[in-house]
Amino acid sequence: MTSPIKFGTDGWRGVIADDFTFSNVRLCAQGLANHLADQAAPTVVIGYDTRFASEDFAAAVAEVMAGNGLRVVLCDRATPTPVVSYYVAVLDAAAGVAITASHNPARWNGFKVRVAGGGSAPDDVAAALERRIAELAPGAVRSISLDQARREGLVQSLDPCPRYYEQVARLVDLDLLKRAGLTVVNDAMHGAGAGYLAEMLAGGATRVIELRSQRNPAFPGMHNPEPVERNLGSLREAVVKAGASVGLAFDGDADRLGVVDESGGFVTPNHVFALLALYLLEVKGQRGTLVKTQTVSSMLFRLGQLYGVPVVETPVGFKHMAPLIARGEALIGGEESGGLGVRGHIPERDGVLSGLMFLEMMVTLRQSPSELVSYLFSKVGPHFYRRLDVPFPPERRSEILRKVSAVRPGELAGGHVVRQDRLDGFRFVLEDESWLVVRFSGTEPLLRIYAEAHSEGRVEALLAAGKALAGVEVSVLRDSS
């Protein structure tokens, strides 16, 4: 059979009731069950986000797993993906499934797979799952009802909070944060991360003001539940109105972090990543490899030089850096989207933990977010960065790809191109160390154009050059700075 199920940067995603249907979700579950069939008594952890019918899709996955004789641990509430990943690791499970489309718009949902240890499914596993799913014959799905599975002891419920909170307390000084007297506005974007910061920081002088903490699968007031500047107007206003110390935002499944400073200004994910790396290196005195995807700021290279640690660059997708974190080689790894992971936790992004680490840095250094950015620039120099997302008709993909593949510019935006590569998409590096990347999103029908330079004007010039290379219209661009 021809399968519409293709695993992208992190799992399979589709439009609800179009291709993301109960039938296709059950096919995914059966494919995973077949993949795990040769393991002795495997356990699968299943969680879900706050999207439309996510808990019902998760129940369908549990029914298929139980129908194949697998033991299932099913979260009893909407749960951040990193928390699901943590339980895969701590319960020594064979795999995990998170029903979530993360930051995609409301009409999407998804099927994220986690492998033993809690990391994202690597490319070979994703390819194997695609093959198994495509080979399934009609009627091949084996399933029993959730009630029957519970009676037979194949499905047990899990309160995901207690052990995860204990893990976070081993990595961050929660008592220090409770005593600090901060005012933190936390925007959960109607997602699965709601309540986590407020519960962990309760009982002290620090106050957490929750914003968009109620479930609403329509994600009103934003294009999509992604903590980028264009979606954070309400958080910025709330921070200023409350005179808050900082604003922290999570995406739909809380594996990404967005930060707003004390004046309502947006602190880019690149700055947040570099700041946490600086904190671990300089303040904590830790050492290890810094791992970045190719679209992350060059500030990480500068930090590597300053502190004598290696920097490894990977294609986009946390799955590419997860092995380094799992082996303990990486001190911190991250993406320009706000997904960060650290040594000693799980080989996965965790927006909640990243937010708490940012608070700990503020308290330890006694600096506001804007002061921290100035501190960072004093170490690495000013860096300006911007990303543009370009929706395009699917039929234009091959045309855009041909156009960008064919160019070999000697000059871009008035600067000499000294290097080109195709680590992930098309990257052009200029003599002044500024750079431009053009690549297709692995999770949405978007062309992404990235640029970094030492001035905002230079960034704009490079983005314009990227638009010209791809032959896209200015009018269709959405700013995702």
- Cα–Cα–Cα angle for 210, 214, 216, rounded to 5 degrees: 135
pLDDT of residue 476 exceeding 70, the answer is no
- Binned at pLDDT 50, 70 and 90, residue 391 comes out as confident
Q: Which of 40-49, 196-205, 273-282 has the lowest mean pLDDT?
A: 40-49
> In this predicted model, which residue has the larger pLDDT, 11 or 444?
11
pLDDT digits (tens, 9 = 90+) for 347-360: 999 999 999 999 99
pLDDT of residue 341 exceeding 50, the answer is yes
pLDDT of residue 58 exceeding 70, the answer is yes
pLDDT of residue 7 exceeding 50, the answer is yes
Domain 12-159, CATH homologous superfamily name and number: Alpha-D-Glucose-1,6-Bisphosphate, subunit A, domain 3 (3.40.120.10)
pLDDT of residue 474 exceeding 60, the answer is no
- Binned at pLDDT 50, 70 and 90, residue 477 comes out as very low
Write out the residue limits of the CATH 3.30.310.50 domain(s) in the chain: 384-479
Q: What percentage of the chain carries pLDDT values higher than 70?
A: 97
Residue with tokens 């092995």: 323
**Could you tell me if 392 and 400 are in contact, meaning their C-beta atoms sit under 8 angstroms apart?**
yes
- Non-local CB neighbours of 321 within 8 Å, separated by 6+ positions: 291, 292, 293, 312, 314, 330, 333, 341, 347
- Binned at pLDDT 50, 70 and 90, residue 467 comes out as confident
pLDDT of residue 470 exceeding 90, the answer is no
- Binned at pLDDT 50, 70 and 90, residue 1 comes out as very low
- Binned at pLDDT 50, 70 and 90, residue 3 comes out as low
pLDDT digits (tens, 9 = 90+) for 82-108: 999 999 999 999 999 999 999 999 999
- Binned at pLDDT 50, 70 and 90, residue 126 comes out as very high
- Cα–Cα–Cα angle for 190, 224, 265, rounded to 5 degrees: 85
Q: Is CATH 3.30.310.50 the right assignment for the domain spanning 384-479?
A: yes
pLDDT digits (tens, 9 = 90+) for 207-243: 999 999 999 999 999 999 999 999 999 999 999 999 9
- Binned at pLDDT 50, 70 and 90, residue 267 comes out as very high
- Residue 473 has a pLDDT of 59
| Residues 366, 266, 349, 81, CA torsion sign | positive
Write out the residue limits of the CATH 3.40.120.10 domain(s) in the chain: 12-159, 164-380
- Residue 397 has a pLDDT of 83
Distance CA 106, CA 324 (A): 33
pLDDT of residue 119 exceeding 80, the answer is yes
Per-residue 3-state assignment (H helix, E strand, C coil) for the chain: CCCCCCCECCEEEEEECCCECHHHHHHHHHHHHHHCCCCCCCEEEEEECCCCCHHHHHHHHHHHHHHCCCEEEEECCCCCHHHHHHHHHHCCCCEEEEECCCCCCCCEEEEEEEECCCCECCHHHHHHHHHHHHHCCCCCCCCCCHHHHHHCCCEEEECCHHHHHHHHHHHCCHHHHHHCCCEEEEECCCCCCCCHHHHHCCCCCCEEEEECCCCCCCCCCCCCCCCCHHHCHHHHHHHHHHCCCEEEEECCCCCCEEEECCCCCEECHHHHHHHHHHHHHHHCCCCCEEEEECCCCCHHHHHHHHHCCCEEEECCCHHHCHHHHHCCCEEEEECCCCCEEECCCCCCCCHHHHHHHHHHHHHHHCCCHHHHHHHHHHHHCCCEEEEEEEECCHHHHHHHHHHHHHCCCCEECCEEEEEEECCCCEEEEECCCCEEEEEECCCCCEEEEEEEECCHHHHHHHHHHHHHHHCCCHHHCEECC
Q: What percentage of the chain carries pLDDT values higher than 90?
A: 81
Q: Which of 119-123, 161-165, 384-388, 443-447 has the lowest mean pLDDT?
A: 443-447
pLDDT digits (tens, 9 = 90+) for 171-193: 999 999 999 999 999 999 999 99
User: For the chain, what is the mean pLDDT?
Assistant: 93
CATH architecture, domain 164-380: 3-Layer(aba) Sandwich (3.40)
> In this predicted model, which residue has the larger pLDDT, 144 or 472?
144
pLDDT of residue 139 exceeding 50, the answer is yes
